[in-house]
Structure 1
Amino acid sequence: MAGLTFAPFVTFLLCSWIFVLCQGTQELKVKPGENATLQCQSHRGADITVIKWIRTDLKSDDFVFYLTPDQTNGEYQNSLFQDRVELQDPEKKNGDASVILKNVNINDTGTYECWIKERNNPGQAKLIRTIELTVTGTQEVKVKAGEDATLQCQSHRGADIEVIKWIRTDLKSDDIYVFYLTPDQTNGEYQNSLFQDRVELQDPEKKNGDASVILKNVNINDTGTYECWIKERNNPGQAKLIRTIELTVTETQEVKVKPGENATLQCQSHRGADIVVIKWIRTDLKSDDFVFYLSPDQINGEYQNSLFQGRVELQDPEKKNGDASVILKNVNINDAETYECWIKERNNPGQAKLIRTIELTVTETQEVKVKPGEDATLQCQSHRGADIVVIKWIRPDLKPGDYVFYLSPDKINGEYQNSLFQGRVELQDPEKKNGNASVILKNVNINDAGTYECWIKERNSGRRKRDAEPISAIELTVTEPDGHKKGNVGLMVGLPVVAVLLVAVVGTMLFKKRRGETPHTGGETPHTGGETPHTGGETDALNSPTSG
């Protein structure tokens, strides 16, 4: 029985006296530039008088954080951590001895230990917590083209920095510096030509260990991985890596086109880029549907969304100077969305990277002008290979349910067509080849002027489910041969009528005046040939009844 109970008893003692063995080592991962909270918790109500945070790779009398009744830190703190470490709770309530390590960098990676001493516990401080801190990954900085990018690099307070090297990892080793500073020179022949006159220190005096730089007027070719290396005067050896930054130059470019035009979607990598994969996506489509897809094995194929088949091509098929731009042909209202360009280069492992974001807006309506009696072609074009099942041509000023033209699998027009258009509208291509939903409106008249909209529904559309979607809008203007529009026709008709009435009134007045001044014989007006004389001829005859 004793053998069964002895081991649990020893374990109980170990956990009571040195409970860190039971807790194990806590793993903590943070990214460069973030703050790291190093947790250390004694028992509730503990009266803590001494807190020592150490990093095991530093010499024994150098502390990360040091607190006693007489002082906080002072000469006992390692210079790497000056002004970067503070208590999470300065009052140490409930035995809290946790600290916050600010603005971590790669060199903060290491093993940290928390030791505390309580007032009522004589002897040395005891180990409470061990933390394995790992500073992983790179800091991500995103800016728009034309802006300035601040690349942060912070050493410890009071660091006497004598060398700063900023590099971009994709540049060749003998022409590698984005920024280079030594006691003897700044930049000079060591700086890559891409960055000349564009990079400067955020603080030329490097106060508080600040080695950050400002990269001015960034462009898409500045996208890349940047590393900051520094060397201090009192630290022998080579420069140390302090910060890694992934800079992405993104831009939501606005492109506006009219229906039927071609839209060029610009995407430019750096000069000399060996592009192996290009992906153009539209953010509202499902993830495996591409606007354009190119890889070493194929172009588009089953990866391209059906809406764009036969409508998208590279601006430069050879992709010279890193050009991944595409041309989207014959845009329609449904092409208005957000587009993203992703590329992958041969010598850059990993996934494709986002290079450009474009907001495409399809604005205004197409204008069509015809004369009375002519036929008007109202264009409506979907993508090549579209399987159109429903076409609706409407005019917004008509009541809902009244169509200019209506086609479904069951019928063409019928009771859905407004009587104004019966027998006057037909498809330009009855087979709807290449997504053609255009119609011809025959023998137009002045009342046909107005706005027309074309809506279609495809059998297997990859977009949101709806009955039909708008493709094009057309403003139809019916003009007279002399160029007058519909709005002037009433004026053209009204003016002659007013002129006729005016002549009639004047003629009647003159006629009555003459009758009053003519001498009468026997009170009768003399007649020649039995007819009543008229002033104004045919005009009077049109506007006044004739007596006799």
Structure 2
Amino acid sequence: MTLLYIYILWVAACVDSISADSHITVSARVGSTAVLPCNLRKEFTERSIVRWHTDVGFVFERSSDKTSIGSGYEGRVDVPEDELRKGNCSLVLKNVRITDDGAYRSFVVEYVDRTNTGKTQEISRVKLSVDVFWNISAEVGSTVLLPCEWSDLSIQTPHIEWYIDSEIVFERKGKESYQGEGYKDRVDVPEDELLKGNCSLVLKNFGFTDEAVYRSSMVVTHTKKSVLVQKVELSVYKKPEERKDETSSSSGEAGINWPHPLIFIISLLMCLFFSH
């Protein structure tokens, strides 16, 4: 009971001490929902505004009568009003993307009038670390699906690239597509799926030489820059019996090869006979 009381006091102290110097790290996988913590020191009033943004742009803002959402975050972010009334200004970020990785800051602004928004106070700093790495094992000769999702459906003609290091495996822009050397008739990102935001790579007739770390990137039209979407490590899957055979084989080579028991007994008897 004493330990529980100490723990509660410690948590309360931590929450109360949140300031511009506070740094919290939150980890999330691509496609999951992340909650970036934030607690108000004072009561949220009709004149209060809570604002979230990153080092590169605006994310979300809520006042007593309206909300504003930054570009690229539509339908993905919120600070629930009922929670805000309780002093919880945490940002809920749905369908996490690799592009969400970075530093986030929350602020509270006391609104006075149109020309004076009063003092802006920073509440917390949160580092969102997005984990995009997948490990997939597949049997030789099988068809493998390398997962990838891009939710910015405002792009009318998505341009996706799958590659290993600097080698292009597959590329699609609209109806046009390119298959890298050694992947002809084996790889595809179906156009109809890509338009839905599904950029998963279909790899047929998987072989030992296909073992590698694959990356997918979406080429942003207006900037001509590639945005990393997914990383997948693909390896050959071995059945349990194959692993057992390999273990037995290696154990036999490394161990001592004992002779047949009958030969051993005869040799021992002959040794005793001649010793007399």
The TM-score with structure 1 as length reference comes to 0.38
TM-superposition CA deviations, 1:28-65 (whole Å, max 9, x none) = xxxxxxxxxxxxxxxxxxxxxxxxxxxxxxxxxxxxxx
Residue type of the alignment partner of 2:139: K
TM-superposition CA deviations, 1:252-282 (whole Å, max 9, x none) = 2122233333321111113643374222111
Closer, same or farther in 2 for the Cα pair 1:222/1:475, shift >3 Å? closer
**2: distance between equivalents of 1:373 and 1:473?**
22
Aligned to 2:134: 366
Match of 2:209, SS state, is helix
Partners of 1:316 and 1:323 within 8 A in 2: no
Pair 1:478 & 2:236 matched: yes
**2: distance between equivalents of 1:221 and 1:434?**
44
Pair 1:445 & 2:207 matched: yes
Partners of 1:219 and 1:249 within 8 A in 2: no
Structure 1 residue 393: Cα displacement: 0.3
Match of 1:403, SS state, is strand
Aligned to 1:382: 150
> How many residues are aligned here?
235
Structure 1 residue 358: Cα displacement: 1.0
Match of 2:41 among 263, 270, 273: 270
TM-superposition CA deviations, 1:321-342 (whole Å, max 9, x none) = 2111122223333222111112
The TM-score with structure 2 as length reference comes to 0.70
Match of 2:67, SS state, is coil
Which blocks of at least 5 consecutive residues in structure 1 are unaligned? Answer: 1-196, 198-216, 224-247, 500-548
Residue type of the alignment partner of 1:293: E
TM-superposition CA deviations, 1:454-489 (whole Å, max 9, x none) = 1112335xxxx45312111111222033386xxx79
Partners of 1:450 and 1:476 within 8 A in 2: yes
**2: distance between equivalents of 1:316 and 1:377?**
40
Structure 1 residue 386: Cα displacement: 4.2
Aligned to 2:97: 332
In the TM superposition, 1:190-209 aligns within 5 A as: none
Match of 2:170 among 405, 416, 431: 405
Closer, same or farther in 2 for the Cα pair 1:260/1:475, shift >3 Å? farther
**2: distance between equivalents of 1:426 and 1:298?**
44
Over alpha carbons, which structure has the higher Rg? 1
Pair 1:305 & 2:60 matched: no
Aligned to 1:419: 181
Structure 1 residue 452: Cα displacement: 0.7
Structure 1 residue 361: Cα displacement: 1.8
Q: Percent identity?
A: 22
Partners of 1:332 and 1:472 within 8 A in 2: no
Question: Which structure would you say has the larger RCO, counting Cα contacts within 8 Å and 6 or more residues apart?
Answer: 2
Which blocks of at least 5 consecutive residues in structure 2 are unaligned? Answer: 1-8, 254-276
Match of 2:188, SS state, is strand
Partners of 1:310 and 1:384 within 8 A in 2: no
Structure 1 residue 412: Cα displacement: 0.4
Structure 1 residue 395: Cα displacement: 1.5
**2: distance between equivalents of 1:296 and 1:434?**
35
Partners of 1:386 and 1:435 within 8 A in 2: no
**2: distance between equivalents of 1:470 and 1:325?**
27
Residue type of the alignment partner of 2:103: T
Closer, same or farther in 2 for the Cα pair 1:296/1:403, shift >3 Å? same
Closer, same or farther in 2 for the Cα pair 1:222/1:451, shift >3 Å? closer
Partners of 2:53 and 2:104 within 8 A in 1: yes
Aligned to 1:12: none
